[in-house]
Amino acid sequence: MTSIQRMKELTARLKEAAKAYYQEDREIMSNREYDALYDELQALEEETGTVLADSPTINVGYEAVDELPKEAHESPMLSLDKTKDREVLREFVGDHKTVLSWKLDGLTIVLTYEGGELIKAVTRGNGVVGEVITNNARVFRNIPLKIPYKGRLVLRGEAIITYSDFQQINASIEDVEARYKNPRNLCSGSVRQLNNEITAKRNVRFYAFGLVSAQDVDFSNSREYQFEWLKSQGFDVVEYKVVTAATLDEAMDYFSSAVASNDFPSDGLVALYDDIAYGESLGSTAKFPRNSFAFKWADEVRETHLLEIEWSPSRTGLINPVAIFEPVELEGTTVSRASVHNISILKDLELGIGDTIKVYKANMIIPQIAENLTRSGNLTIPDACPVCGEEARIRKENEVESLYCINPDCVAKKIKAFTLFTSRDAMNIDGLSEATLEKFIAKGFIHDFGDIFEIGKYRDELVTMEGFGEKSFENLMESLEKARDTTLPKVIYSLGIANIGLANAKVICRHFDNDIDKIRSADEDEVSAIDGIGPVIARNLVEYFSKEINNERLDHLLKHLRVEKEERSGEQKFAGMNFVITGSVERFANRAEMKEFVESLGGKVTGSVTGKTNYLINNDTASNSSKNKKAKELGIPILSEEDFLKLAQE
């Protein structure tokens, strides 16, 4: 394989991993593996003098999703060059006064203030174009909505969720599989919500790390002065220390000892020259500014021995391999197990019982296998489910192999499926813990979801069950009666169809006018064409309803429910019309409320301006945003809220 071929291979793998991580909030390779492949690609580019057009070394970040308005940044946001070697960092600092601060692991946000008020918040996006999340930023825990300074201020910072809040939020999610893997994923999803009520409940915090511009303010040519000035305006600023090469060690020792006890996620440090003019005079490379440098913590790696692979089934039938190894101390805690994620990773590592492996904690949180030193590959992948004993089969999707139990009646699937069904966001049935459900299944009381609402016929047996007396029975009956009144999106979500969460269920139900028969008979093309619903979700939905047994079970469930249908009342004057909403809104609580209003009049709201768009709604009708430009190119009218409301009243 030539160097160029290897570069193409590395580019494809890194782009796939970045898309999974940034756009889909999932991981297909460890941070350590990503960094190693990235470094290899960078070395090959230096060796060959060639940089491919789609190389991740020049294309940074993730692409903004269509559900939120997009906007170009006033100045591109570049990534930082990085090292894990303290001496390399010392060489960068040299004799320059340098601001050394935490590199927070969340989502970068750009805030704009005018007249002392927050007028705009935009995510980093791909560094050139981000997503407008102003309404969400307004409900961050610590962002000042008004500041003393009345000029135009643009600053950058990191939105994060603390470890303690992360643990509390995860603990409230009853479906274990629906829990978030780390604070960054939770923060990313929280910041980019369409409904800022959800954001408000997530305790998102913002820490400023850079001032872009402030009209008519003399900062004495000092980044440190900028930090202190931002504090005076009410902003929480990332903790920092001012260093030179001579004083670097003391500061580094402080940060390295503090990171273990911090309540916030951090994956390293950032060094920024204090001298603003000097730093800006250095310019930048195609990807990196020359006035700043990132230091990433060297992972604490321990050597141990693999004892066994535990195979853990889930409600979708996926059987996850979990490595069990001799306990080791990592980042201050004892660790003895780590998820291997899927069969592809297990094969790549050539794992075998007794192998000598190296383990670490990704971002000092999640145990991972770094490498396998002996690579015996002596593992036998089971061909039977560890719970039900029926056939287990390897499936390959998107070049990733995973093991699945194919028995639809697997007890493990049932327990997990019933746990989701009764959870708060689904049918919200109190009094049915996973342990209780397990007992009901074992006794043959429930076989499908509808059976739960018929559990009362086993009253005599239930009240004599250990830990489940007369009072528990009465409470359960009361909870079941309340649960009968529900909505179709909750019903669809409660079925446990792969990749369909409550938000997706709402979008699907709204598209099909809350008609379950239309949803059951829809084909993949129609479902995947719904704004925000992709081909994977479409395939899963259609496959689910293609099975007669699933339809029979749903019919049984629906007999016990009173499903409230979201009726559209009044004249459908926007029927057949497509709208795009962008920017901040004033007459509505948020864009989601405006979207509901459009839909109540028969219209459809999409995420991007196309030839099918009838109107673009933007209070800043004269702005030079990408959506406004596109609308003008296509001759599509741009309406302010006032214009839109007049149109609705005509």
Instruction: Tell the residue number behind the tokens 């007992």, with chain if given.
Output: 439
Q: Which phi and psi angles does 18 have, rounded to 5°? A: -65, -40
Return the structure tokens found at 12. Answer: 């494809």
- For 211, the token pair is 């001032």
Q: Are 263 and 77 in contact (CB under 8 A)?
A: no
Alpha helices in 129-222 (DSSP H): 134-137, 163-171, 183-191, 196-201
Q: Is 340 left (phi over 0), alpha (psi -120 to 50) or beta?
A: alpha
CA dihedral 140, 146, 148, 152 (to 10 degrees): 90
Q: Which amino acid is at 155?
A: L
Q: Please return the burial class of 435, using the count of CB atoms within 10 Å of its CB with bins 0-12, 13-18 and 19+.
A: exposed
Which candidate, 446, 475, 480, places its Cα nearest to that of 463? 475
Helices (H), 24-96: 31-48, 86-93
Dist CA 241 CA 571 (whole Å): 62
Q: Which of 70, 103, 413, 506 is catalytic?
A: 103
Q: φ and ψ at 595, to 5 degrees?
A: -60, -45
The amino acid present at 602, given as its one-letter code, is G
What are the C-alpha distances in Å from 388 to residues 403, 410, 560?
Answer: 14, 5, 30
Quote the strand ranges of 90-175, DSSP E. Answer: 98-104, 107-114, 117-123, 129-131, 153-160
Largest Cα–Cα distance of the chain, in whole Å? 82
Is 547 an active-site residue?
A: no
Q: Supply the residues annotated as catalytic.
A: 103
